[in-house]
């Protein structure tokens, strides 16, 4: 079976900020114009620095590409960046564990000889109203877990998982290639385990399972609806 798993960074992101405020994403149309002008500027600057013109009119802005500064209609600091394919942050204290994860773009290509769908899995581009606020990661997860003296349960103070809309396309060739991985490997072992469980006392099994299981409590749990 031949497949390719891609985990890539985002497209180039242009942001602006005023004074010491936080950076905000520039609308997609202006971002495209800025990136095109910036690429032309650095290409000319490499060939002949004297011929490069740093101050240019781009879309409805006047910018200095050498210092990444917006001059008009108001003076703002510009930032050009790319978000990594995967980003994670973990911090801990005696009382808390914080974890934040972002996965930018995931794509699975089917390289089977007769594949009908060359791209088996990929995110769906968000609507323009969402893109106007800046690119969003395909998967984003944040959690805050309380660390206490009681080890009989886990207390999650905050859990949030957001997954953007995606498409999944599976044809017959891909399904046949995946079928061996979906078939149980040791069917005899499963049968013996089922017979042993069926012959055991139900009350004792329930008590044992309750004693072994680890309880989890959630104060805030937010799961985004998954649209495929």
The pLDDT tens digits for 164-197 are 888 888 887 777 777 776 665 555 556 666 667 6
Instruction: Please give the pLDDT value at position 189.
Output: 55
- Whether the ω angle into residue 211 lies within 30 degrees of 0, i.e. cis, is no
Residue (of 16, 17, 36, 35) closest to 26 by Cα position: 16
Q: E-assigned strands of 164-208?
A: 166-168
- Where are the chain's structural domains? 11-81, 86-182+207-223
- According to DSSP, the β-strands at 3-8 and 105-110 are antiparallel
Q: Report yes or no: 158 and 220 within 8 Å, Cβ to Cβ.
A: yes
Residues 6+ apart with CB under 8 A from 168: 120, 121, 228
Class of domain 11-81: alpha beta
Q: Give me the helices (H) in 63-199, please.
A: 128-131, 172-182, 187-199
The pLDDT of residue 97 is 92
Cβ distance 115 to 177 under 8 Å?
A: no
pTM higher than 0.75, yes or no? no
Bridge partners, residue 145, by sequence? 97, 156
Residues of the chain with pLDDT under 70: 1-3, 130-134, 149-152, 181-195, 197-198, 200-214, 226-228
Q: What is the pLDDT, as a whole number, of residue 131? A: 67
Supply the pLDDT for residue 158.
92
């Amino acid at each position: 079976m031949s497949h390719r798993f891609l985990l890539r960074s985002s497209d180039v992101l242009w942001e602006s900020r005023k004074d010491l405020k936080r950076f905000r994403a520039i609308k997609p149309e202006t971002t495209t114009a800025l990136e095109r002008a910036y690429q032309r500027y650095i290409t000319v600057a490499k060939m002949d620095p004297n011929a490069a013109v740093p101050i240019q009119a781009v879309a409805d802005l006047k910018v200095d590409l050498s210092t990444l500064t917006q001059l008009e209609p108001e003076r703002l600091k510009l930032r050009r960046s790319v978000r990594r394919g995967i980003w994670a942050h973990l911090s801990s204290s005696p009382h808390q564990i914080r974890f934040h994860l972002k996965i930018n773009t995931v794509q699975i290509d089917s390289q089977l000889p007769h594949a009908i769908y060359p791209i088996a899995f990929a995110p769906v581009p968000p609507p323009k109203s969402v893109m106007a606020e800046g690119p969003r990661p395909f998967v984003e997860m944040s959690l805050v877990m309380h660390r206490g003296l009681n080890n009989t349960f886990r207390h999650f103070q905050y859990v949030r998982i957001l997954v953007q809309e995606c498409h999944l396309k599976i044809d017959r060739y891909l399904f046949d290639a995946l079928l061996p991985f979906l078939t149980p490997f040791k069917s005899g072992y499963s049968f013996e385990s089922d017979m042993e469980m069926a012959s055991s006392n139900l009350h004792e099994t329930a008590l044992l399972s309750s004693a072994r299981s680890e309880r989890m409590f959630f104060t805030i749990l937010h799961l985004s609806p998954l649209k495929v």
